[in-house]
Amino acid sequence: MLKRSRAIAPALLVALLLLPAANALAAPQYVALGDSYSAGVGSRVFYEETCFRSPDAYPPLIASARGYALSFEACSGATTKEVNEKQLGPLSSSTSLVTITIGGNDAGFSEVMLSCALYYFTCQESIEEADYFIRYSLPGLLNTTYSDIRARAGNARVVVLGYPHLFTSSGTTCNFNLLTSEHEKELNSTANILDQVISERAAAHGFTFVDPRKDFEAHEVCSSSEWLNGQSWPLRESYHPNQAGYRVFQSLIEAALP
C-alpha cells in the first residue's frame, strides 16, 4: 500500500500543476478593439505609452470581473482603417466577446476640439465638415470594419460602444479656452449624429449597440460630478472619460452581456 501511494503522489502533483494551464485554456476569449475610448486615455494610468492602454480602461475591468482571457488591441488615435489593418489578428472562431469604440478619429473629432478650443473662428466650419463626413463617409467605413470583425469572429458577441456627450445640455463652460456654450451644444449634436450612424451600422451587422449618453447626463465636462476630463495636461487626457467614466462603461457593457 505504501508503494502504491508513492506512485500516485507524482501523478497527483503533475495534475495539480496542470490545472492552472487548463483553466487558462478554458477561459473565454475577449478581444477589445478600438480607439482611445477603449484603450483608456483619460484614466492617467497606462501599461505603456505606445497606444496608451490602461488597466483602468473598461476592457481589463470586464475581463477581470467576468473571467475572460483578454487580447487588448485598442489603441489611442485608431481609425477604422487601423483597426482593420492592425487589431483584428487575435479574432477567431473561438472568440467569445468583442468590444469596440471607433469612428471618432475618422471624423477628425480631436482636430475639431482643437479648432473649437484654441482658435474659435474655424470651429463652426470644422463642426460642419465633421457632421458631413459622419453622415456620408463614415457608414461605409464602419461597414467594412464590422464585416471584417464578423468574418473573423463568426461566433462572438460583438458589443459596439457609442460616445457620450462631452458637454452639459446647457453648454456650461468652465475651462480656460475659447469654447462657447453654443459650440458646446453643437458638439453634442455632432455626438448625436455620430452615435446614430454607429448604432445603425452596428444593428445592420447584428451587433449590440450600447449608448452611454443618458447615463453620462449630469456628469459631463464642467458638471458638478465629472465622469469626463475637461481640458487637461497632458492634452491627450482632455475630453476623455476619467476612471469613474470607464467604470460606467464597464457596467453598461456588462449589462448587455448574458
CA 94 – CA 5 distance, rounded (Å):
40
**Considering 165, 183, 219, 240, which one is annotated as catalytic?**
240
State the helix-helix crossing angle for 138-152 and 181-204, rounded to 10 degrees. 40
**Residue 189 a catalytic site member:** no
Which of 36, 38, 76, 126 is labelled catalytic? 36
Q: In angstroms, rounded to a whole number, what is the distance separating the alpha carbons of residues 9 and 12?
A: 5
- Is residue 115 annotated as part of the catalytic site, yes or no? no
The set of catalytic residues is 36, 240
